[in-house]
Amino acid sequence: MKAEPKNPFVYWELASHDAVKSVAFFEKAFGWKFAYDEKTTIFELPIPKEDNRFTGGGIFTLRKAKLPFVTLYIEVEDVDKKAKEIEVLGGFLVIPPFDIAKDTRICLFNEPSGVTFALIQARKKNP
């Protein structure tokens, strides 16, 4: 039985100059099927229903940034605690922890060389 890695990469986002063109490319190249979310304006690669973890990704058109970029999300148990640890270890918080939905909290940070990553925490839903 394989142990799951602690704090795995669980989601990705591609900020593109043309999300529609990027989505068409990935759908043709890899057979992926994206679904457009009007609320977030992100083309989401859906998470399989049988998967109880974050997995998948999304593509959106750039809003403020000038250059396209990819963000990798790392799942953690406590975003706020991990954000403080990142600062102590020499990282820089680009966007401090905040809620993107009632059950999801994220933050963006630069590791010491300046590369941006994101933390994501899913709050346990009450049954």
What percentage of the chain exceeds 90 in pLDDT?
47
Is residue 8 over pLDDT 70? yes
Domain ranges of the chain: 8-75, 80-127
**Shared fold status for 8-75 and 80-127:** yes
Residue 126 burial (CB < 10 Å; 0-12/13-18/19+)?
A: exposed
Q: How far is CA 67 from the centre of its chain?
A: 18
pLDDT at 1 over 60: no
Q: What is the pLDDT of residue 65?
A: 77
Architecture in CATH of 80-127: Roll (3.10)
Q: What is the pLDDT of residue 122?
A: 72
Q: In the prediction, which pLDDT does 22 show?
A: 94
Kindly report the pTM of this predicted structure: 0.77
Question: What would the two tokens of residue 28 be?
Answer: 């043709």
Fold exhibited by the domain 8-75: 2,3-Dihydroxybiphenyl 1,2-Dioxygenase; domain 1 (3.10.180)
Report yes or no: 109 and 94 within 8 Å, Cβ to Cβ. yes
